[in-house]
Amino acid sequence: MNKSRLEAFSDGVMSIALTIMVLGLQTPHSASAAELLPLLPRLLSYVLSFVYVGIYWVNHHHLLQLANQVDRRVLWANLHLLFWVSLIPFVTDWIAGHHRHTAPVASYGVVLMMCSISFLVLKRALRATEAAHPALAAVLGNGRKNACSILLYALAILLAPWLPLWSSAIYVALALLWLLPDHRFDRSGTAA
């Protein structure tokens, strides 16, 4: 099955997620810089979520550049990822207004953790589809970075009732970790 429709649909869903998030931002009521201060949590939440969607978009692009074809399993795994990515605007808006409360902070972590799990599932589905290509398995790696991320998301979720700001710090640290370039993609000739 050709992968171009999968790529186009995925790009569209991620673009819509970013658009919904930016539409949630409100401008200050006056031209005073002091008006920005109460909006800072919302703006920082938007920036972090924009980075996360960007990370998934870039890694999704690299992942699909490696594939020659997709099958039904890959299509469903991709939809699973897109479902969780599509929830990022919702939890972003919630945590932006309540960044010190357990439910929004934990929910943000659950969505991020599920994005990470679903991306790992997508990688494994692609690896199974492309079983005849050992180079793909080498580039995809063993998923340690994903597994560590999932554990850290779980830790952040567990910390949310007592230390919600620490949970948010873990979310920021994980975003920074994923911003580091993966040179295996560069060596495979799929660098963007």
**Is residue 127 in a domain?**
yes
**Is residue 120 in a domain?**
yes
Reference 61, options 122, 142, 109; nearest CA is: 122
Quote the pLDDT of residue 192. 38
Domain containing residue 84: 4-187
CA atoms within 13 A of residue 57's CA, in its CB half-sphere: 17
Amino acid at position 116, single letter? S
The span from the CA of 174 to the CA of 152, in Å, is 8
**Is residue 68 in a domain?**
yes
| φ, ψ for residue 163, nearest 5 deg | -135, 70
Quote the pLDDT of residue 29. 86
Domain count, the chain: 1
**Is residue 156 in a domain?**
yes
Quote the pLDDT of residue 134. 67
**Is residue 192 in a domain?**
no
**8 and 58 in contact (C-beta within 8 Å)?**
no
Quote the pLDDT of residue 26. 87
Quote the pLDDT of residue 42. 94
DSSP string, 24-53: T----SSS-GGGGGGGHHHHHHHHHHHHHH
Low-confidence ranges of the chain (pLDDT < 50): 190-192
